Amino acid sequence: MIDIQELIRLATEARNTAHVPYSNHPVGAAIVTDSGNIFTGCNVENAAYPLGSCAEQSAISAMVRGGEKTISVIVVVGPTLEPCTPCGGCRQRIREFSTPQTIIHACNEQEVLLTMTMDELLPQSFGPENLKKI
C-alpha cells in the first residue's frame, strides 16, 4: 500500500534541495513505479532558462536510470499552500511513462490538494502509440 504522507515527505525533501535562483519557485516530485520503487526529483534552473529541468523531469530521469519505465503514482509539492500541478511539458513527460490510470497528486507539505488520473491531467493526449508505423 502506498503511504501518501511518506511520498509528500519525500517530495518536500526533494523540493527543499531545488536550485531556483531565478524563479524562487522550488518544486519536488516523488514517483512510485508499477513495481513499487520510489524516485524523487527537484527543479534545477539555469541562467539559460530553457536548459533548466523540472522536478517531474528529474524524477522521471532517475526512474529511467533506475531501470523502471511505468509511473503508478506521482506526487508534486510546490512552494505554496495551493496545488502545484505539472507544467505542460511535464504533463507530456509523465504521459510518456504512464497509463491512463496513473494517479497524479498535487500537494502542499501537509496534504493532497488535488488528485487526477493521467487522462484527466492530459485528456486526448498524444503518446507513443500515436507513432506506430502504418
The predicted-structure confidence for 26-42, as pLDDT tens digits, reads as follows 999 999 999 999 999 99
Q: State which residues form the domain around 94.
A: 4-131
pLDDT tens per residue, range 76-105: 999 999 999 999 999 999 999 999 999 999
Task: Name the band, by pLDDT with cuts 50, 70 and 90, for residue 134.
Answer: low
Q: What are the residues whose beta carbons fall under 8 Å from the beta carbon of 129, sequence distance 6 or more?
A: none
Q: How many domains does the chain have?
A: 1
pTM of full prediction above 0.85: yes
pLDDT tens per residue, range 55-84: 999 999 999 999 999 999 999 999 999 999
The span from the CA of 111 to the CA of 122, in Å, is 23
First CA to last CA across the chain, in angstroms? 41
Q: Is residue 35 exposed (0-12), middle (13-18) or buried (19+ Cβ within 10 Å)?
A: exposed
Task: Walk across the sheet containing 71-77 and list its strands.
Answer: 38-42, 28-33, 71-77, 103-107, 112-117
pLDDT of residue 1: 76
Catalytic pick from 45, 56, 111, 129?
56
Strands (E), 78-124: 103-107, 112-117
Instruction: Quote the percentage of the chain above a pLDDT of 70.
Output: 99
The mean per-residue pLDDT over the stretch 4-32 comes to: 97
Check which CATH number belongs to the domain holding 65 and give it. 3.40.140.10
45 is catalytic: no
